Chains A and B, each alone.
Chain A
Amino acid sequence: MNAESDAAAGTTGAPALLDSVLHAVRVGMIVLDDSERVVLWNRWMEEHSSYPASSVLGKPFVELFPELTNGRAHGAIRGALQSKLASLISQTLNKAPFPLYARAEDRAAGVRIQQAVQVVPLDQPGKAHCLVQITDVSMAVAREKQLRELAMELQGQIFIDGLTGIPNRRRFDEHVENEFRRAKRSGSPLSLAMIDVDAFKDYNDNYGHQKGDDCLILIAAALTRILGRPCDLVARYGGEEFVALMPDTNADGAQALAEAMRHEVESLAIEHAHSGVAPHVTISLGLLTQTPSHNTVISHMIGAADRALYQAKRNGRNCVVVHGDKAPA
């Protein structure tokens, strides 16, 4: 109480000083009286609203800002005038409520200042008044946006294979878990293909690791071209092994896609004089289609697809083997 009366005593001594402080401060300040009419409008408000104080003094708040009628800021003003409650209006939850602009070109483009608004009742004898303070938080918002984008990028990189640019094993493990649960709930078939590059060790030994890397990049892109639906996923499983997940895909559909992948890689026509299968690079695929039930386990599905892949290798490579199919006589 003492501090307040001291301050009041100070103002009567130097109203001109207080006035110049109000106008120098880099915060928007509006004071409203109990009928929501403007009684103070500082220089910051003049500069950013383009209304001189002389044109707004005595005008009701809703006449100046018709778009804010009964909105959050207006409610806060009523709360301060009628119930003496202070309110905070955050930029995050209320995108720039006041039409205030940093520069003329921003005004032309309709880009408002990002605002944090505080509405507080003023402790005045007699009529109720409230102070609306508007702070420019554009810098903080921009900084956080940058941080958030960086975080998103980093999060994305964790799930991408560094060499081929397609999803990695970690991404696959997460995706397969989700799709597996979804298939279980909806009772829809889930297809899985394990894919291995034929005689890749011989390719590396004869053409060098640089060429080997290029070969994997081309294959990853070829496989991804075939599986284009948003829920499909081709990932690098490790070394020269890839995995393809095809949700809502029955055995026939999966076999057609697997054949298409095999064909797509063959038609890349990457020379491989030491393959023993063909004069170019080929892949083998082990395929499994299952509608998961309560006691199905993901690792068993992956194991079954792996066994089918092994069978494809034994069947002479460059082919698709479906789990459960009999080996050729």
Chain B
Amino acid sequence: MFQLNELQHDALVELFNQGVGQAASSMSQIVREEVTMSVPLISFQSRAEVARTLGSAEARRICAVTQHYQGAFNTEAILMFPEEKSLEIVRLMVGQSVTMEELSEMEQEAMSEIGNIILNSCMSTLANISGKELHGSLPIYRIGTGDHILGSSGNQWNGLVLTLKIDFNIEKHEINGYVAFLLDMSALNELQAYLDQYLSGLTP
């Protein structure tokens, strides 16, 4: 099983915190209110494990924003919130309080933008340390169980999911979500190499 050593792990947490910090300040600018975000923990898991954490067994509905990245390394990046939390986030960001059960078309687009900001910020910190280009696609909004979104049932795949737990704070509300990066073995090795490169640059 793939594992990062302690230094690599800490560096990655640090980088992701920089990334979501940038995302939070972009979002604060949009809503003209304080938004803060942090990544308290990251882990490497199989798709089935992540789906289980997301309540796939109970058929819990997840709202997801996905983007594809290629270049420095290839990955499918997914921001995920339980459906009711995504309603809360969008409404806090937009400042509307009419409670319909699902996100409207325009609200889905707003959710896609929120995902786009968070995923791009995380990926650009990784692109920076790699010193390589990282092409990102436009975000796609999806809704379904964790299984459905991660595509864990069916096809064989030898990769791992790098999951970040995200604490999102706006207007005294704390909302937890996840960002998942689907990484195959070569992407995992590339990521590890970039981290080593970054760490060696830190030591004089």
Contact = CB atoms under 8 A, between A and B. Distances in A.
Given A75-B26, A83-B134, A90-B106, A151 B98 contact: yes
Helix, strand, loop or mixed for chain B's interface?
A: helix
A90 B100 CA distance: 20
Contacts of A137: 106
A87 B100 CA distance: 27
Contacts of B75: none
Interface string B95-131: 0101010001111011011101100100110010000
Interface stretch (B8-16, B136-144, B149-157, B172-180): B136-144
Given A141-B106, A148-B98, A87 B93 contact: no
B33 to A, nearest CB: 12
Helix, strand, loop or mixed for chain A's interface?
A: mixed
B199 interface: no
Nearest to A155: B98
B29 interface: yes
Q: How large is the interface on A (under 10, 10 to 19, 20 to 34, 35 or more residues)?
A: 20 to 34
Contacts of B67: 86
A67 interface: no
Given A83-B134, A84-B135, A141-B106, A92 B94 contact: yes
Nearest to B139: A88
A92 B109 contact: yes
A85 B23 CA distance: 14
B138 A93 contact: no
Interface in B67-82: 67, 71
A86 B138 contact: yes
B34 interface: no
B133 interface: yes
A88 B112 contact: yes
A85 B106 contact: no
A84 B133 CA distance: 7
A86 B113 CA distance: 11
Contact of A92 (B106, B124, B133): B106
Contact of A93 (B71, B113, B127, B135): B113
A87 B104 contact: no
Nearest to B69: A85
B71 A90 contact: no
A60 to B, nearest CB: 22
A141 B67 CA distance: 25
Interface residues of B, number: 34
A113 to B, nearest CB: 15
A174 to B, nearest CB: 14
B26 to A, nearest CB: 7
Interface string A67-91: 0000110010001000111111111
Interface stretch (A29-37, A115-123, A190-198, A218-226): A115-123
A140 interface: yes
Contacts of A116: 109
B137 A86 contact: yes
B30 A140 contact: no
Interface string A39-64: 00000000000000000000000000
A144 interface: yes
B124 A83 contact: yes
Contacts of B138: 86-88, 118, 120
Contacts of B135: 84-85, 121, 123
A147 interface: yes
26 contacts: A71-B29, A72-B29, A83-B120, A83-B127, A83-B136, A84-B71, A85-B124, A85-B136, A86-B116, A87-B116, A87-B117, A88-B139, A90-B112, A91-B106, A92-B90, A92-B106, A92-B107, A93-B31, A93-B110, A118-B138, A123-B135, A140-B105, A140-B106, A144-B104, A147-B104, A148-B98
Q: Which 5 A-B pairs have the closest CB atoms?
A: A92-B110, A85-B136, A90-B113, A90-B109, A84-B135
Interface of A: 71-72, 75, 79, 83-94, 116, 118, 120-121, 123, 137, 140-141, 144, 147-148, 151-152, 155
Given A72-B26, A79-B120, A155-B98, 10 more contacts: A72-B30, A79-B124, A84-B133, A84-B136, A85-B123, A88-B139, A92-B90, A92-B113, A93-B93, A141-B106
